């Protein structure tokens, strides 16, 4: 029988922790919610969730002393999944409320959706179900899709709630794209770091499949 490792869900004061934990548990994972630097530093897998503003999220990490432990895990091969705000703060900067530095693991900036893209006024936030178009290999030349997308068909609908979107500088990190007035990166994959702008914990069967794939990465 495969040994199931605990997946630490990082608590930095930005909500939706229990819904993520319940979803992880429903696909066979052991979820542990923690805001302790020592727990983050020793975790074998991490989920960085979040709902809210970029700057407030970074302030929450600073207040809990989590910046350095997280940066270490994001660069040492530990599987990490960022969700929504947890995806955005992986980038170098966010422009919400004025530019604010993020964790800087993925090069690029988090920007506000254009209110009008030339074809009509967009409703902001982007809220509800929308499709993801998977990128075969993100330009890596391997022909592979992201491991977390195994069993998830191209064009699958996922659930979104956000007013800002990430714009990576390196197109090879993009694992899936979504269109909402503009085309944006709705999922990124850089070595052992994975992140989704959509909420897998709210995306029913296909979202749970993504979480199951993450849980099973190191089993």
Q: Which domains does the chain show, CATH number per domain?
A: 6-218 (3.40.50.880)
Which residues are catalytically annotated?
84, 199, 201
What is residue 174's three-state secondary structure?
strand
* pLDDT tens digits along 25-39: 999 999 999 999 999
- Give the chain's mean pLDDT: 91
Structure tokens at 102: 């993020």
Helix residue ranges, H only, the chain: 17-26, 37-42, 54-63, 67-75, 85-88, 204-215
Put residue 2 in one of left, alpha, beta given phi > 0 → left and psi -120 to 50 → alpha. beta
**Are 132 and 187 contacting, i.e. CB atoms less than 8 angstroms apart?**
yes
* pLDDT tens digits along 110-164: 999 987 665 667 889 999 999 999 986 544 555 578 999 999 999 999 999 999 9
pTM over 0.75: yes
């Amino acid at each position: 029988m495969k040994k199931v490792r605990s997946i630490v869900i990082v608590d930095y004061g930005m909500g939706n922790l229990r819904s993520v934990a319940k979803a992880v548990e429903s696909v066979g994972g052991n979820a542990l919610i923690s805001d302790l630097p020592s727990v983050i530093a020793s975790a074998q897998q991490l989920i960085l969730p979040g709902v809210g503003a970029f700057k407030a999220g970074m302030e929450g990490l600073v207040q809990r002393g989590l910046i350095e432990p997280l940066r270490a895990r994001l660069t040492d091969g530990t599987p990490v999944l960022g969700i929504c705000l947890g995806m955005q703060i992986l980038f170098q900067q966010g422009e919400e409320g004025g530019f604010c530095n993020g964790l800087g693991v993925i090069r690029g900036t988090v920007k506000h959706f254009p209110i009008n893209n030339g074809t009509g006024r967009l409703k902001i936030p982007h809220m509800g179900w929308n499709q993801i178009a998977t990128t075969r290999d993100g330009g890596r030349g391997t022909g592979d899709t992201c491991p977390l997308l195994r069993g998830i068909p191209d064009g699958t609908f996922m659930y979104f709630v956000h007013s800002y979107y990430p714009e990576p500088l390196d197109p090879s990190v993009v694992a899936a794209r979504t269109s909402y007035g503009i085309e944006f990166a709705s999922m990124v994959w850089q070595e052992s770091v994975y992140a989704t702008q959509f909420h897998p914990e709210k995306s029913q069967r296909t979202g749970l499949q993504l979480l199951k794939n993450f849980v099973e990465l190191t089993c």
